[in-house]
Amino acid sequence: MSTGARRNPSAPQATPALIDVLRTIQVALISDQLHRFIGTGQLKKYDCSTGTMAGTAVTVRVSHGDNLAVLRALKEYCRPGDVLVIDGGGDTEQAILGGIMSLYARSIGLAGVVVDGAVRDVAEIRERDFPLFARGHIHRGPYKDGPGEINVPVNIGGMVVMPGDIIMGDDDGLLAFNPAEAETLIEKALAQQAKEEASIQAILENRWDLSFVDALEARSNN
């Protein structure tokens, strides 16, 4: 039976080894390697997990406040290690999911859930060690009428997420990129991390050299 919606197969997953490394890196460090241009800080982190969320994006686009396609994605398209990324159009007048669906997402091994829309059961979600990002929250629950689209390009807080992108999130925000870029981004981010750790140590030892400020100002004078 036709649902009037596009449903595409889930993209190949990034390797677990690659994802494990990304989970040790702050989103800001990867963001800097992408010229500080990609990503969003418009969604809030609702859970109590620590560290960095990272996984392969399974994307869903739904009508405002409707989660029928989300349920279908959880049932048939999501795999352990994936991040379910839901484009709800930024609407916060109707919750797309709550405590039960987020618990189920964790139970099947998802790495996290991202909702550009609203959630509910916030007190329950905040006690759970499972990454969940959303634009807002409200007590009103979802409809289940459809339609919806699965594994299509989506817009999350102004950031385009393609099916199969690697998506990362921490307290600073969310970031998505093509997995083909991952190894280069990791190499550059780890190099920057080492430099930043050296700067922190220099500050603690009162020997941080700020002479670079003069060069920055000279570059800006034109």
User: What are the tens digits of pLDDT across the range 160-196?
Assistant: 999 999 999 999 999 999 999 999 999 999 999 999 9
Whether residues 170 and 154 share a domain: the answer is: yes
Q: Are 173 and 209 in a shared domain?
A: no
pLDDT score of 179: 98
Is there a single domain that holds both residue 22 and residue 129?
yes
Task: Report the relative pairing of strands 95-97 and 44-45 from DSSP bridges.
Answer: unpaired
3 state SS of 183 = helix
**Is residue 8 one of the residues assigned to a domain?**
no
Given pLDDT bands bounded at 50, 70 and 90, which one contains residue 54?
Answer: very high
- Is 6 contained in some domain? no
CATH code of the domain covering residue 79: 3.50.30.40
pLDDT score at 210 = 87
68/130 same-domain check:
yes
Q: Are residues 93 and 119 in the same domain?
A: yes
The predicted-structure confidence for 70-125, as pLDDT tens digits, reads as follows: 999 999 999 999 999 999 999 999 999 999 999 999 999 999 999 999 999 999 99
Establish if 69 belongs to a structural domain: yes
**121 in the same domain as 194:** no
In this structure, are 60 and 125 located in the same domain? yes
Number of domains in the chain: 2
Find tokens 């890196």 and name the residue: 25
128 and 196 together in one domain: no
Both 158 and 198 in one domain: the answer is no
Residues 25 and 52: beta-carbon distance below 8 Å: yes
What's the rounded Cα separation, in Å, for the pair 131 and 106?
9
Residue 3 lies in a domain: no
What is the 3 state secondary structure string of the chain?
Answer: CCCCCCECCCCCCCCHHHHHHHCCCCHHHHHHHCCCCCCECCCEECCCCCCCEEEEEEEEEECCCECHHHHHHHHHCCCCCEEEEEECCCCCCCEEECHHHHHHHHHCCCCEEEEEEEECCHHHHHCCCCCEEEEEECCCCCECCCCEEECCCEEECCEEECCCCEEEEECCEEEEECHHHHHHHHHHHHHHHHHHHHHHHHHHCCCCCCCHHHHHHHHHCC
Q: Are residues 202 and 164 in the same domain?
A: no
Range of the domain at 117: 16-180
Do the domain assignments include residue 9? no
Can you tell me which residue has the tokens 């499972």? 130
